[in-house]
Amino acid sequence: MSEALVIRSADQDDIPTIGFLAHQIWPEAYKDILSNDQMDYMLGLNYSPDALEDQIINKKHRFIIAEIELEEVGFASFGPITDSIWKLHKLYVLPHVHGKGVGRALLDMVEEEVRTHNGAHLILNVNKYNKARFFYEAMGFRIEKEEVNDIGFGYVMDDYVMGKDV
């Protein structure tokens, strides 16, 4: 990549940026998987300013943001489940920068942080029909189980739980 890629920590001041990125990325990422109504519901549930603030303050999710030439192009969030098991909660990159190493750089930073805090295993949930599953497999993750989670209003998340020792 010839352009300068920077991964930086995010905080509450970045909530509008994270929400904006999610609203740009989700319609492309989930257009063939979720109905518009479910997408709108989930964006509100997970990316409203209040939801993001709750994730940062109360749930202790750590967010990082990827920038290319000072333009925010992706983000990830993660946090501990136990002392040794950590979870990647989110990893999203704008479609126009797919294939430029941004997702890998975000994931590398997450894995480094997990190891720094003596974590040994990283898990994530990915929709069974999301092509991101293949990215995670290429990064060394393997399917550990299947999981269906009721998220309200008659919607469910039909996921693979994937994991990787770090």
Are 104 and 87 in contact, with CB atoms under 8 Å apart? no
Q: CA 80 to CA 39: how far, in whole Å?
A: 27
**Interval 102-155: pLDDT, tens:** 999 999 999 999 999 999 999 999 999 999 999 999 999 999 999 999 999 999
CATH number for the region 5-124 comes to 3.40.630.30
Percent pLDDT > 90 in the chain is: 98
Does position 1 have pLDDT exceeding 90, yes or no? no
Nearest 5°: the CA angle 162, 165, 166 is: 120
Does position 12 have pLDDT exceeding 90, yes or no? yes
- Alpha-helical (H) ranges within 48-146 are 49-57, 102-116, 132-138
Domain boundaries, the chain: 5-124
pLDDT band at residue 3 under the 50/70/90 scheme:
confident
Looking at this protein, which amino acid is placed at residue 136? Y
Q: E strands, the chain, where? A: 5-9, 62-68, 71-80, 85-93, 121-127, 142-152, 155-165
- Looking at residue 13, its pLDDT comes to 97
- Looking at residue 2, its pLDDT comes to 57
**Interval 57-81: pLDDT, tens:** 999 999 999 999 999 999 999 999 9
Does position 156 have pLDDT exceeding 80, yes or no? yes
